[in-house]
Chains A and B, each alone.
Chain A
Amino acid sequence: METNLCVAGFGGQGVMTLGKFLASATCDSTDKNVTFFPSYGAEQRGGTANCFVVISDDMIGAPLGDVMDDLIVMNGASLHKFLPTVKEGGRLFINSSIVDEKEIDRKDIQVVSAPVTELALEMGNAKVLNVIMLGVYIGYTEVIDPEIVWNTVEHKLSKKPKLLPLNKQAFEKGLEIGRSFR
């Protein structure tokens, strides 16, 4: 069993962090193989950023798969770029605050939408949109135990304890939305 996930959005939306949290949590809590592969190059804030996470019971061949089981898109440009890579029956997670659901021209995939930009602003910090989306993804897929994912987030943020309550709130909100789509 191998799951290929692509996370894509604007640079600055925390897509790398989202992927890394998920991959780290997998490494910490399971004996599965996992890779996190970031796009790199002449990247800049406001440009596009994406990363690939592969989780597998067996050896992982390509850290960058040809076909995605899951796709998380945080902006419109990423939807257009990566939607064709999602397999039939695959799962798409969109930031519906800025990604227009009407532009999804496929009927053969499951769509989970969450207005994570707006939700983050309501919580008072636009930066937590990625943690909300992480919650949405985990809540819907249950690919790993939410508690383990939160432990990883908590550990990674241990140097900034002031941010923990907000991130916890963001993660919980995401889980709730993800579960509501099940």
Chain B
Amino acid sequence: MARTFMKGSEAVAEAAVRAGCRFFAGYPITPQNEVPEYFARRLPEVDGVFVQGESEVASINMVYGAASAGVRSMTSSSSPGVSLKSEGISYCAAARIPMVYCNFQRGGPGVGAIQPAQQDYLQATKASGNGGFEMMVLAPSTVQEAVDLTYKAFDLADRDRNPVLLLADGVIATVMEPVELPEMKSDEEVQKIRDSKYSWACVGHKLDYANRSWIQPGQWDTVKMQKENEIAEELYKSWEKDVMVEEYEVDDAEIVIASYGISARIAKSAVEILRKEGIKVGLIRPITVHPFPYKSFENLDYSRVKTILDVEMSIPAQMIQDVELGVKGRCPIETCLVSGGNIISREAIIDKVRALVGKEA
């Protein structure tokens, strides 16, 4: 297939359009301004609708509305913008509305630094809004993976009637790489997807009270609310089958790096270099950070694995909490971290691993 040289944020937007996304509302924020910019140009070409909302809150609620009408819909932002959207995200989860959104993470709390970071892991995976809902969270480490996961995210969202989050960073947003784009869904296919939501979405029903669609973010009745939460829990538990993880050079590894997204990509190249030095090091890279691949850590042979090295662009480390749940205290967990918008260096990872095995360069 032909390769196209594309910027990550534009490639994500194109992948969404090809997946049948026909509505995007967003509000500008660095480092993902090219996402709305691309949609603004592209969606009118496919009879879709682009809206630059007056705010993040307005944008997510427009997505809530459009997705309630059965249209594949999307929004995108960066850390503080995502926080502003958290109310609407929670409403989508409560009403079981399928939609896709992206967070190109920033370097800290508040306005953060605008440079690449991974400071929103816990927010993304544990509580992206009030009410204890969960979402599948997909974490690409290359532009190609961002494209593939965006395309897949719409299917997962529709399958589960639940929001899906693409958790990326400023490198994925701004880097240009060759990509192979997925197939463009035809107008007929896009219509068919919308028609398939007739049972619940506001796609134009007859005036019939009993069979009308009813989008409701929460319940007044306590019994009904508990029931909804129980149904949601069943869904969340079912995701164990959807875990995606890359295990690289793990089979004989004595040091296993745990890392996701952009830092995992850099860590993987560190593993390649260290392997050439004869150091037995491997990498476990969660692609779904929620559901988290606990089994990959549970199943390690701890008579062989001496140390887990958690590599993140976050201080304090965040994913380490999930790693600990898999490791269960069976070996020490060390960290190699940067934060604040600094990109982790391959040399830093290599030096840390060398130090762990007591080997100088």
Listed in ascending order, the chain A residues whose CB lies under 8 Å from chain B are 20, 23-24, 27-28, 33-38, 40-42, 58-67
Bound CA–CA A176/B126 (angstroms): 59
Bound CA–CA A42/B114 (angstroms): 9
Q: Is the interface of A mostly helix, strand, loop or mixed?
A: loop
Chain B proximity of A158: nearest CB distance (Å): 16
Of chain A, the residue at the smallest CB distance from B173 is: A40
In the A-B complex, the 6 residue pairs with the smallest Cβ-Cβ separation, listed nearest first, are A61-B269, A27-B5, A36-B176, A27-B178, A62-B266, A66-B347
Contact across chains for A61 and B114 when beta carbons are under 8 A apart: no
Contact across chains for A61 and B265 when beta carbons are under 8 A apart: yes
Of chain B, the residue at the smallest CB distance from A63 is: B175
Contact flags B83-114 to A (C-beta < 8 A → 1, else 0): 00000000000000000000000000000001
- Complex A-B: 26 CB contacts under 8 Å: A23-B5, A23-B176, A24-B5, A28-B5, A34-B177, A35-B175, A35-B177, A36-B177, A37-B174, A40-B30, A40-B31, A40-B115, A41-B115, A42-B114, A60-B269, A61-B268, A61-B269, A61-B270, A62-B269, A63-B171, A63-B177, A64-B171, A64-B343, A66-B345, A66-B346, A67-B347
A35: which B residues are within 8 A, CB to CB?
Answer: 175-177
Contact across chains for B346 and A65 when beta carbons are under 8 A apart: yes
Q: Evaluate whether A61 and B272 lie within 8 angstroms (CB atoms) in the complex, with A41-B115, A66-B345, A66-B346 already known.
A: yes
- The 8 Å CB contact of A33, one of B31, B178, B272, is B178
B28: which A residues are within 8 A, CB to CB?
Answer: none
A24: which B residues are within 8 A, CB to CB?
Answer: 5
Bound CA–CA A37/B172 (angstroms): 9
Contact across chains for A37 and B171 when beta carbons are under 8 A apart: yes
B170 within 8 A of A: yes
Q: Which of B3, B178, B272 has the most chain A CB atoms closer than 10 A to its own CB?
A: B178
Q: Which of B176, B267, B272 has the most chain A CB atoms closer than 10 A to its own CB?
A: B176
Chain B proximity of A18: nearest CB distance (Å): 14
Bound CA–CA A12/B210 (angstroms): 64
> Which B residues from 1 to 41 make CB contacts under 8 A with A?
3-5, 30-31
- The 8 Å CB contact of B269, one of A34, A37, A38, A59, is A59
Contact across chains for A36 and B175 when beta carbons are under 8 A apart: yes
Q: Evaluate whether A20 and B266 lie within 8 angstroms (CB atoms) in the complex, with A40-B114, A62-B345 already known.
A: no
Bound CA–CA A92/B70 (angstroms): 56
A38: which B residues are within 8 A, CB to CB?
Answer: 174
Bound CA–CA A64/B343 (angstroms): 8
> Which B residues from 324 to 361 make CB contacts under 8 A with A?
343, 345-347
Bound CA–CA A37/B31 (angstroms): 13
Bound CA–CA A61/B274 (angstroms): 13
Bound CA–CA A37/B345 (angstroms): 15
Q: Which of A36, A37, A66 has the most chain B CB atoms closer than 10 A to its own CB?
A: A37
Bound CA–CA A20/B176 (angstroms): 9
Contact across chains for B170 and A40 when beta carbons are under 8 A apart: yes
Bound CA–CA A164/B171 (angstroms): 32
Bound CA–CA A33/B270 (angstroms): 17
Of chain A, the residue at the smallest CB distance from B350 is: A66
Bound CA–CA A64/B266 (angstroms): 9
Contact across chains for A61 and B266 when beta carbons are under 8 A apart: yes
Of chain A, the residue at the smallest CB distance from B30 is: A40
Of chain A, the residue at the smallest CB distance from B348 is: A66
A37: which B residues are within 8 A, CB to CB?
Answer: 171, 174-176
**Apart from A34-B5, A35-B176, A62-B345, what are 17 other A-B pairs with CB-CB below 8 Å?**
A23-B5, A23-B176, A27-B3, A27-B178, A28-B5, A34-B177, A35-B177, A37-B174, A40-B115, A40-B174, A41-B30, A59-B268, A59-B272, A60-B269, A61-B266, A63-B175, A66-B347
B345: which A residues are within 8 A, CB to CB?
Answer: 62, 66
A64: which B residues are within 8 A, CB to CB?
Answer: 171, 343
> Which B residues from 245 to 295 make CB contacts under 8 A with A?
265-270, 272
Bound CA–CA A23/B170 (angstroms): 19
Chain A proximity of B78: nearest CB distance (Å): 12
Of chain A, the residue at the smallest CB distance from B265 is: A61
B171: which A residues are within 8 A, CB to CB?
Answer: 37, 63-64
Chain B proximity of A24: nearest CB distance (Å): 5
